[in-house]
Amino acid sequence: MMIPGVPYDEDLANRIRELIAGEPDVSEQSMFGGLVFLVGGRMSVAAGAQGSLVVRVDPEDTDKLLAKPHARPFVMGGRPMEGRVRIDAEGVRTKRQLERWVRLSVVYARSIPPKR
């Protein structure tokens, strides 16, 4: 359910929190009109509006992941962003569906080398 004045789906944000509760070095930040979860200081996954999810993935896997049900490009400034995939609410209704995407994104975020 959308709460007036809150640009992201609070229920989805809480479901993500439950899934990553055991992960070290997780923080949250409002960004892109959603609530972004950072892992090790790197964007991992975000709760968007109307229950959509944005996941950060290996850019080389973007096209393969876009072929999955309910997945579409994450567009910013009119351009699709490589390494980001938006999952419609229908694709994250169950815990199993959501967990698959969150896990993929957390693993990728942890694999990114630290900035120098």
CA-nearest of 79, 8, 66 to 37 is 8
CATH classification of the domain holding 90: 3.90.1150.30
Instruction: Determine, yes or no, domain membership for 105.
Output: yes
Instruction: Determine, yes or no, domain membership for 5.
Output: no
* 86 within 8 A of 70, measured Cβ to Cβ: no
Instruction: Determine, yes or no, domain membership for 4.
Output: no
Instruction: Determine, yes or no, domain membership for 1.
Output: no
Q: What is the pLDDT of residue 6?
A: 56
Q: What is the pLDDT of residue 2?
A: 42
Residues in the chain: 116
Total domains in the chain come to 1
Tokens 């070290």 sit at which residue? Answer: 24
pLDDT (tens, 9 = 90+) of the chain, 116 residues, equals 444 455 789 999 999 999 999 999 999 999 867 899 999 999 999 999 889 999 999 999 999 999 999 999 999 889 999 999 999 999 999 999 999 999 999 999 999 987 66
